[in-house]
Structure 1
Amino acid sequence: MPEKHSIGSQIGDLAQSGEKMIERLRRKAFLPESRKGLNVRFGIAEAAGLLGCSTNRIRMAEDDGRLPPPPAGDNGRRLGYSIEDMLNMREVLGASPRRASGDPAAMIAVQNFKGGVGKSTVTTHLAHYFAVRGYRVLVVDCDSQATTTTLFGFNPHFNITREETLYPYLSIDPTQADLLYAVKHTPWPNVDLIPSNLELFDVEYELAAAGADGQSVLATRFRKLKQGLTDISRNYDVVILDPPPALGTISLAVMQAANALLVPLAATTPDFCSTVQFLSMMDQVLEQLTEAGIAVDYQFVRLLCSKFDANDPSHDMVRAIMEQSFGPALLPVPILESAEISHAAMRMMTIYELEKPIGTARTHKRCRANLDEALGQVEQLVRSTWGRVDRIDEELVVNG
């Protein structure tokens, strides 16, 4: 029988070997500088659709000098508009979707205690969906497993220190008074990230060891995270929180700090049962928080079916059960299972970052259209909390 220390050594070796492989994959994916880049561009028709205006309006703005034309390639053809170009176009043409100064930023917690539901995938795709549409987005990785941080192109083991996570702000002996220190820029000009790594879990240990004074310490930490996020959210329209998939101190603090809850779940019986348990547990916890004087208020609570296979009869059956159980709280459009999403994740990317399809053009187009529709449901919920309605598409008006 092997000794305990040898088992520990073996596990440590496995972890170290895995971390080295992640770094190798990251370097291969982000050559030549080993830094994630963003080279996606939009044609004029797609740009007009995103801005809610006509292609003629864009061309007129380019003709009269208000907008620069997109660069041309070696063959003389226009290369399309970058994300930076799109943001500038929104400002010049008055097509920015930003919230009004009196509207609070949407602070959406993407949470489920069941693993494998695509929580981090939904988080990153939701962030990039909002970014494409011109919103200012902050993603806060509160999970020490740091999958979201990895998908944004950072290696949590090699690139992120504990001092760059939420730890210096939430620890028993904090060294930071606000969260500005932790904000990192990403390749997206309108998406920032507060990263995570394994050492963030130290917060859980410290608070568990707080002793008899634990309850007051916990309450203080809950209020502190909410205050810090509220302060920093002044610079953003949407804040997306990715908490740990467990009922710990950080998860509870995130649940209290958020003003909206999005629960992803897959269309399987175990996922459905686990999600019901999660909701039941959340109900009890929120009741206890309220009794302790810690306010929790959500502008919306929705469930989003992810990894849905329309060709699997069992998925249809489970989704029907979800509809009967959750009613309108279940968003009507699920995220479809797609090899394109899996292939993009292998490159530490989302569908919105791909310059060209990985699989067939048809598969990519279908996947992108589904994501736009599914995540657009969340956008409309956010806009409704601001009292905003859908913008009218000028192209549709002109063409009847």
Structure 2
Amino acid sequence: MTSDASRIAELADSGVRMIERLRRKAFLPDTRKGLDVRYGIAEAAALLGCSTNRIRMAEDAGRLPQPPATDSGRRAGYTIEELLHMREVLGASPARAPMDQPPIIAVQNFKGGVGKSTVTTHLAHYLAVQGYRVLVVDCDSQATTTTLFGLNPHFNVTREETLYPYLSIDPTQADLLYAVKKTPWPNVDLIPSNLELFDVEYEMAAAGADGGSILATRFRKLKAGLMDLARSYDVVLLDPPPALGTISLAVMQAANALIVPLAATTPDFCSTVQFLSMMEQVIGQLGQAGIDVDYSFVRLICSKFNGNDPAHAMVQQIMEQTFGPALLPVAILESAEISHAAMRMMTVYELDKPIGTARTHKRCRTNLDEALGQVEQLVRRGWGRVSPVSEEALVNEAA
């Protein structure tokens, strides 16, 4: 007779094979994720906060290369790499100053299904489009963020490439540099995860009487390792597990800012309230143990919001009344474009053309820019800066 464990193992193996089939189908011919997004000159100018004329003048003067032409003679548009070069030449880089503290932002909620990994990956790519250097650290053994970056955690990631060799009771790595992987985005790096990262939880549980001191050491070690890496980036994003465990606690202590995604449903609202209550207790307990937690900002963001659903609107009002200014005013709308991109192990920012209608794609992209731009403003405020002022705004102000 086939045991329950054997049947579950068969289901898991079947699922792993299907993930790899989907990945290969999405990334043929080389089965590796690429980045084919290009931006027209008007969109590039908007991103750089300058006029199209300034870009053309820099190209005519040889300060910027001319973009290649298509077969029809039209401009092919600019790649992300070219946009980053344009930012350097035109002095439009948003990079933090050497003395600015790099934000290490945990995107955390103990309730699963709130879009935590979706928010993390879209935020990473939004910031990349804006010109920031971003490090994403997948701290969740379920590895959804790793998958959205185009890696199969079962086939493409080993335990030695995750946080495990650094956080293990018997560590084999003294810093985190070994785990940093390049991604198709020239200004986004990733520390991936897979199921074996959960072994850290087992080791801590088996540590017995010495578990408390080992745990405190791991907390401080993760923070030190991330702060060391953060010097090479503008923003670090952490995607912890959706549960209260060793790694989640370590992430909570290592972060210096917190974003809490929640869906506009009553169960999600209630669960998030419980999460915040638990956070308060845990932070107090950590403080008593001499482990400080200090956040430059704590904000909640409503994800998967359906403006046509009266129940969503009602729960959103409840959230506004409850959380006040801690709730970011622009919610992330539920969109088929996000779901379709996720099926291809991508974000909306990686699509070179709409999957659905052009109108749906534009509405989704505009909403994501507005919602995630709120987090960018929090980052810049922490550096004592506001958004870069465009030439058009300066002209209007002078007039």
TM range (shorter): over 0.9
- The answer as to 2:304 corresponding to 1:343 is no
Partner in structure 2 of residue 68 of structure 1:
65
Q: Map 1:326-365; keep pairs closer than 5 Å.
A: 326-365=323-362
Partner in structure 2 of residue 224 of structure 1:
221
Partner in structure 1 of residue 199 of structure 2:
202
- 2: distance between equivalents of 1:338 and 1:265? 16
- The answer as to 2:51 corresponding to 1:54 is yes
- 2: distance between equivalents of 1:27 and 1:104? 40
- The answer as to 2:35 corresponding to 1:38 is yes
Cα deviation digits, residues 8-30 of structure 1 (max 9, x gap) = 11111110110000000000000
Match of residue 368, structure 2, among 371, 384, 392 = 371
Aligned AA (1:152): F
Shift of 1:397: 3.6
| Structure 2, gaps ≥5 residues long | none
Q: Map 1:216-255; keep pairs closer than 5 Å.
A: 216-255=213-252
Q: Map 1:49-198; keep pairs closer than 5 Å.
A: 49-198=46-195
Cα deviation digits, residues 221-253 of structure 1 (max 9, x gap) = 000000000000010000000000000000000
Q: Secondary structure at the match of 1:235?
A: coil
Runs of 4+ in 1 over 2 A off after TM superposition: 395-400
Aligned AA (1:168): P
Q: Aligned Cα RMSD in Å?
A: 0.8
In the superposition, the TM-score normalised over structure 1's length comes to 0.98
Cα deviation digits, residues 340-376 of structure 1 (max 9, x gap) = 1001111111010000111111110000000000000
Cα deviation digits, residues 206-226 of structure 1 (max 9, x gap) = 011111111100000000000
- 2: distance between equivalents of 1:149 and 1:347? 13
Aligned AA (2:62): G
- 2: distance between equivalents of 1:150 and 1:216? 34
- 2: distance between equivalents of 1:374 and 1:246? 25
Shift of 1:390: 1.5
- 1: distance between equivalents of 2:246 and 2:386? 37
How many residue pairs end up in the alignment? 397
- 2: distance between equivalents of 1:335 and 1:241? 19
Aligned AA (1:58): I
Shift of 1:303: 0.2
- 1: distance between equivalents of 2:281 and 2:392? 50
- 2: distance between equivalents of 1:315 and 1:99? 37
Cα deviation digits, residues 121-163 of structure 1 (max 9, x gap) = 0000000000000000000000000000000000000010000
- The answer as to 2:254 corresponding to 1:274 is no
Q: Secondary structure at the match of 2:222?
A: helix
- 1: distance between equivalents of 2:144 and 2:305? 21
Match of residue 284, structure 1, among 274, 278, 281 = 281
Shift of 1:104: 1.1
- 2: distance between equivalents of 1:349 and 1:152? 7
Shift of 1:391: 1.1
Partner in structure 1 of residue 26 of structure 2:
29
| Structure 1, gaps ≥5 residues long | none
- The answer as to 2:316 corresponding to 1:319 is yes
Match of residue 391, structure 2, among 388, 394, 398 = 394
Aligned AA (1:323): E
Partner in structure 2 of residue 264 of structure 1:
261
Shift of 1:396: 3.9
Shift of 1:70: 1.0
Q: Secondary structure at the match of 2:352?
A: coil
Shift of 1:380: 0.1
- 2: distance between equivalents of 1:398 and 1:175? 57
Aligned AA (2:304): K
Shift of 1:398: 4.2
- 2: distance between equivalents of 1:241 and 1:396? 35
Cα deviation digits, residues 170-190 of structure 1 (max 9, x gap) = 000000000000000000000
- 2: distance between equivalents of 1:336 and 1:37? 26
- 1: distance between equivalents of 2:388 and 2:164? 41
